[in-house]
Chains A and B, each alone.
Chain A
Amino acid sequence: MTGLIIVLVVIAVVVLIVISMYNSLIQLRNRVKNAWSQIDVQLKRRHDLIPNLIETVKGYMKHEREIMENITKYRSQAMSAGTVGEKAQAEGLLSGALGQLRVQVENYPDLKANQNFLALQEELTSTENKISYSRQSYNDQVLFYNNKIQMFPSNILAGMFKFNLEEFFQVEDEKERAVPKVSF
């Protein structure tokens, strides 16, 4: 009789531990998803702003065709990218191209005085800042989640219920590589 009770208690405790572990995994995964959607909103916002920017800039910048073509190309690449890693890379290239454009703007005083352009530039700058600030919190969440998945004992449960590792959103490296090279 006591043996049965002990067995039952042990089973109950194990079940409770498993449930709470599973729930915390779900919670962490949702946090990662939530953090990602924060970034995604800003990325979409940037993609929406770019056609307007190109439209405004086109009339002024006759000699920067290549930069503008690059921006359009990277934008569509970024929009069609599937995984986080692909997205991060495409967005990094896009940031680089936009940075080049920003440097070139200095040569066009008329453009710099255009109110429409100034408003667009402010929105773009802000969107880029928001991306970079939300990226940090996303990566923090991913690190936390991935640690949990790989560490014992939650890794057993993660394997059973197919919790997969999430990718970091790393643009920094690409951004540094794509630093606008200006030759005078």
Chain B
Amino acid sequence: MMWELIQSNRRKSLVLFFSMGLTLLLLGYFFGSAYYPDGGGFIGIFFALIIWGILSLISYFSGSKILLAVSGAKEVTKEVHPQLFNVVEEMKISAGLPAMPKVYIINEIAPNAFATGIKPENSAVAVTAGLLARLNRDELQGVVAHEVSHIVNRDVMFMTFAGIMLGSIVLISEVFLRSLWFSGGGRYSSKSSKSSGQGQMVIMIIAIAFAILAPILAQLLYFAISRKREYLADASAVRYTRYPEGLASALEKISDNSIELKTANKVTAPMYIVNPLKLKGQKLTDLSSTHPPISERVRILRNISSGANYIDYQNAFNKVKRGKVSLIPSSGLADQTTVGLKEETISPVSLGLNKQTQRETGDIMMKVNNYSFINCSCGLKIKIPPDFKKSELFCPRCGRKHSIQN
């Protein structure tokens, strides 16, 4: 059943993917023709394909590594954050992933998360320290489930390749426009004779218009792919966790935050669970937004009452949207077995206080960076940096002596 879902997801994406590819080819053709009217168009296509091919190869073999490095994510072991590890493992079981995803923590206060991995066998889940500090167990589970479903639904694969295509289009347009700027169009005026000048002029104008429009068009397509996938990932997350409220309240908590994620950019933005970039004055239903409005996602999740199957999510979606948009392919809806909802986990710690959240964030970041901790009996938690050489130290508050094992 899941496989058919992936298949239909793949088919839809391919259409969008090919329209982006067509844009890329047209771009190459017009730029080529603008410079060399005789057969230059095909040289242009050739170069466009080469640029795209090289970028795709790089992203296929080391895309996740680059993405993780760019976002400043660090791989962690279970000792650093047992709960995160457990939650990822639970979702691995629930989603039937063939291998345990690697777990990364990003040293950022802004709460967010993303998944990478073109193949499900070799994937990774990254969350920010701020997210870990703010969310309780059920909420964290919801977020991780959402990310894992991006891997299972092969969203990561398509977003990576679509992102690369977008990158190529932006790159080629930029190079063309700049070369025009520097050559001042001199090349075209010297090469073409007066008779073919007019036709050449038209092609030139088309090329310039294309150079300006194509990146925007490609971005809109990219975002369109991205938005639809967010709903499907939410639906899968509900199915995996069987607890819609977890993800709903996690999304609420995340959207409450006003800090922008420093390590995210326009191309990596759709990878995150919520848009990491805050655009000023952006309308919620704006075409250029990578994610559906959070309030709407939360409302859909809260409208799920009967069960955790895909059909329950689709029903809730229809109720909120007051329309019949087929969000989930019919193969996903054919399975009408009731998947029971889970009860709430009683979580031992709830971090409501802002100060406490910040302290917790700091602790997680320090753990990621190999700091060790000593709990002094006076109640002070002493944090020791990894390059601390001495074998003992005194508590700064009460003066007790502590020995350090290294």
Contact = CB atoms under 8 A, between A and B. Distances in A.
Contact of A172 (B87, B96, B340): B340
A133 B82 CA distance: 19
B353 interface: no
B89 interface: yes
B93 A130 contact: yes
Contacts of A38: 93
Contacts of B345: 125
Nearest to B137: A125
B89 A126 contact: yes
Interface stretch (A68-76, A85-93, A115-123, A161-169): A115-123
B263 interface: no
A38 B271 CA distance: 31
Given A122-B82, A122-B86, A123-B82, A137 B346 contact: no
Q: Which of B87, B90, B345 has the most CB of A within 10 A?
A: B90
A134 to B, nearest CB: 5
Contacts of A123: 82, 86
B349 interface: yes
Contact of B90 (A119, A129, A137): A129
Interface string B79-95: 00011001101100110
Contacts of B89: 126, 130
B281 interface: no
Give chain B's interface secondary structure class.
helix
A138 to B, nearest CB: 11
Contacts of B137: 122, 125
Interface in B339-371: 339-340, 342, 345-346, 348-349
A31 to B, nearest CB: 12
A58 interface: no
**Interface size class for chain B?**
10 to 19
Q: Which of B86, B141, B240, B342 has the most CB of A within 10 A?
A: B86
B86 A133 contact: no
A129 B140 CA distance: 14
A36 to B, nearest CB: 14
B97 to A, nearest CB: 12
Nearest to B95: A133
Contact of A137 (B83, B96, B340): B96
Nearest to A115: B375
B96 A118 contact: no
Nearest to A42: B93
B339 to A, nearest CB: 8
A44 interface: no
Interface string A99-131: 000110010000010000011011101100110
A126 B87 contact: yes
Contacts of A121: 348
Nearest to B82: A122
A8 B328 CA distance: 50
A35 B27 CA distance: 52
A126 B90 contact: yes
B311 to A, nearest CB: 17
Nearest to A39: B93
A119 B346 contact: no
Interface string B319-344: 00000000000000000000110100
A167 B87 CA distance: 28
Nearest to A125: B345
A139 B86 CA distance: 23
A153 B87 CA distance: 43
Contacts of B349: 118
B348 A119 contact: no
Nearest to B346: A102
Contact of B348 (A103, A112, A132): A112
Contacts of B340: 172
7 contacts: A102-B346, A122-B83, A123-B86, A126-B83, A130-B90, A133-B90, A133-B240
Given A112-B348, A126-B90, 5 more contacts: A38-B93, A123-B82, A123-B86, A130-B89, A130-B90
* Chain A to chain B: the 10 pairs with minimum beta-carbon distance, closest first: A126-B86, A133-B94, A133-B93, A129-B90, A134-B93, A118-B348, A122-B83, A130-B93, A130-B90, A102-B346
